[in-house]
């Protein structure tokens, strides 16, 4: 997909390809048998971890079986909905808030090191309501209090600040700190910046399997040879669970398919283009830095295909037009689908797999992997550098938190 800002560096020649450079890479790896850490998976999570490790001066190799950000990370809407998202645990709400702040701080350095614009815009999110009842129900359903300010916009204020919103709208909550970005660019920027700081980023590495003995992780076998290391971080998104099965761990990942579409307003309709993200109960409408407006997303648990259905897109457009009628004049650009990696308890697996020293998991971020990428990278890098997860406050997300039944010995 093409969520990139025009005219910026693309990733085509950024990273090395495992097939094209197999002999060169093998030579390098033979000459240097031990990389401190290998990250498996070049989605936004793996790339953020590689970036944070490299920025701490750690030796890291990131291997991706296809291309950087070619799976779920390229399907996302790119919202950093730290306050608007209904997190049910304080730990997730706190991580989301910290992650959004960290991303805002990282932006300049990331873009400078990678020469990729991430399209980060802090335009604020509007959560609209049709009537007072709807607004009250919404407030009652929020179990965790937002960490940043939200302002109530009554009908008059809302229509002054957001003239493109339906006249039927009763009022809205406005959250000025909420932001969004171009997710593919973010993943590529993390990978590019990591590479600038000395990490190796290798695409097209197939047949990855974990090598383990009684003392713990030894490395990985791959289509470009055996890579030895002290730590392996499995950041393989949807495939994370399958990969850990190889070493007897059962960390289930549940697919939740989502469809999403891009539209564009003609220049003469620019006044009708939303300049803030609309984050409603049934749809979101996100104005992007590349000029498009993205409308998402369906939610289909148990589905892992990437088919885009007429019914799915029709439903999204109907909901979106209910809030922003002007979308009906906009031009349809494209639609796509991706599969969110969910877990049985809704929390990502984050931390050390203690039964196998040196092995770490970082996957299962469900619908918030873009938002949580910065904090995941930072926490995982700290953990690998020797801080305990209790100290980092992420023990609740430990891969071994699930019952013994779910972890096969």
HSE at residue 167, side-chain half, CA atoms within 13 A, is 0
Judged by CB under 6 A, the number of residues near ligand FAD is: 44
CA angle at residue 119 from 114 to 124, to 5 degrees? 140
Residue 211 tokens, joined: 């090598």
3-state SS, 379-400, equals HHHHHHCCCCHHHHCCHHHCHH
Residue 45 sits in the site that holds ligand FAD (CB under 6 A): yes
- Mode of pairing for the β-strands spanning 125-129 and 277-279: parallel
Q: Which stretch binds ligand FAD (CB under 6 A): 71-79, 104-112, 195-203, 303-311?
A: 71-79
Q: Which residue is nearest to ligand FAD (CB)?
A: 43
Restricting to residues 278-297, which ones interact with ligand FAD according to CB under 6 A? 296-297
Restricting to residues 122-161, which ones interact with ligand FAD according to CB under 6 A? none
Residue 79 sits in the site that holds ligand FAD (CB under 6 A): yes
CA nearest to 267, candidates 324, 323, 322, 331: 331
* Identity of the residue, 358 or 377, whose beta carbon is nearer to ligand FAD in the bound complex: 377
Return d(Cα 170, Cα 131) in angstroms, integer. Answer: 5
Least distance from C-beta 349 to ligand FAD, angstroms?
10
Return d(Cα 378, Cα 58) in angstroms, integer. Answer: 13
Return d(Cα 163, Cα 392) in angstroms, integer. Answer: 44
HSE at residue 127, side-chain half, CA atoms within 13 A, is 19
Q: Which stretch binds ligand FAD (CB under 6 A): 40-48, 103-111, 112-120, 313-321?
A: 40-48
* Identity of the residue, 192 or 338, whose beta carbon is nearer to ligand FAD in the bound complex: 338
Residue 199 sits in the site that holds ligand FAD (CB under 6 A): no
Q: Is the separation of the CB atoms in 83 and 175 below 8 Å?
A: yes
Q: Which stretch binds ligand FAD (CB under 6 A): 59-67, 134-142, 270-278, 302-310?
A: 59-67
Q: Is the separation of the CB atoms in 1 and 333 below 8 Å?
A: no
Residue 121 sits in the site that holds ligand FAD (CB under 6 A): no
Q: Which residues pair with 300 in a beta bridge?
A: 257
- In the shown chain, the binding pattern of residues 353 to 372 toward ligand FAD, with x for contact by CB under 6 A and - for none, equals ----------x-xxxxxxx-
Residue 383 sits in the site that holds ligand FAD (CB under 6 A): no
* Identity of the residue, 172 or 186, whose beta carbon is nearer to ligand FAD in the bound complex: 186
* 381-400 per-residue burial string, b: 16 or more CB within 10 A, e: under 16: bbbbeeeebeebebeebbbb
Return d(Cα 281, Cα 277) in angstroms, integer. Answer: 13
Q: Is the separation of the CB atoms in 115 and 267 below 8 Å?
A: no
* Identity of the residue, 265 or 363, whose beta carbon is nearer to ligand FAD in the bound complex: 363
Q: Which stretch binds ligand FAD (CB under 6 A): 15-23, 63-71, 194-202, 391-399?
A: 63-71
Least distance from C-beta 41 to ligand FAD, angstroms?
3
Residue 309 sits in the site that holds ligand FAD (CB under 6 A): no
- In the shown chain, the binding pattern of residues 222 to 261 toward ligand FAD, with x for contact by CB under 6 A and - for none, equals -------------xxxxx---x--------------x-x-
Q: Counting every residue, how long is the chain?
A: 409
Q: Which residues bind ligand FAD (CB under 6 A)?
A: 40-46, 63-66, 70-73, 75-79, 205, 208, 235-239, 243, 258, 260, 296-297, 338-341, 363, 365-371
């Amino acid at each position: 997909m093409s969520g990139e800002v025009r005219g910026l560096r693309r990733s085509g020649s950024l990273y090395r390809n495992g097939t094209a450079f197999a002999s060169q890479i093998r030579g390098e790896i033979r000459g240097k048998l031990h990389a401190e850490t290998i990250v498996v998976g070049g989605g936004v999570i793996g790339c953020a971890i590689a970036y944070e490790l490299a920025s701490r001066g750690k030796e890291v190799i990131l291997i991706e079986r296809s291309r950087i950000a070619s799976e779920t990370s390229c399907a996302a809407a790119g919202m950093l909905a730290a306050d608007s998202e209904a997190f049910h645990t304080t730990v997730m709400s706190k991580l989301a808030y910290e992650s959004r702040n960290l991303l805002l701080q990282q932006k300049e350095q990331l873009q400078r090191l990678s020469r990729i614009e991430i399209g980060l815009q802090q335009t604020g999110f509007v959560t609209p309501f049709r009537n007072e009842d709807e607004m009250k129900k919404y407030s009652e359903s929020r179990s965790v209090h937002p960490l940043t300010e939200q302002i109530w916009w009554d009908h008059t204020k809302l229509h002054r600040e957001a003239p493109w919103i339906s006249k039927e709208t009763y009022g809205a909550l406005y959250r000025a700190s909420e932001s969004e970005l171009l997710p593919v660019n973010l993943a590529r920027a993390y990978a590019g910046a990591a590479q600038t700081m000395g990490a190796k980023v290798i695409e097209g590495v197939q047949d990855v399997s974990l090598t383990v003995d009684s003392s713990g992780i030894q490395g990985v076998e791959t289509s470009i040879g055996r890579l030895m290391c002290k730590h392996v971080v499995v950041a393989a998104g949807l495939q994370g669970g399958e990969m850990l099965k190889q070493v007897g761990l059962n960390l289930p990942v549940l697919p939740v398919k989502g469809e999403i579409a891009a539209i564009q307003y003609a220049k003469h309709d620019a006044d009708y283009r939303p300049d803030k993200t609309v984050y409603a109960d049934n749809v979101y409408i996100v104005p992007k830095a590349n000029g498009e407006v993205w409308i998402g997303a369906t939610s289909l648990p148990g589905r892992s295909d990437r088919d885009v259905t007429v019914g799915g897109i029709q439903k999204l457009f109907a909901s979106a037009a209910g809030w922003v009628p002007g979308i009906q004049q906009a031009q349809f650009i494209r639609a796509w689908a991706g599969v969110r990696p969910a877990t049985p308890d809704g929390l990502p697996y984050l931390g050390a797999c203690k039964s196998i020293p040196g092995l770490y998991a970082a996957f299962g971020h469900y619908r918030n992997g873009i938002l949580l990428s910065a904090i995941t990278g930072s926490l995982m890098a700290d953990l690998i550098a020797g801080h305990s997860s209790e100290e980092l406050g992420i023990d609740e997300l430990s891969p071994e938190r699930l019952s013994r039944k779910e972890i096969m010995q």
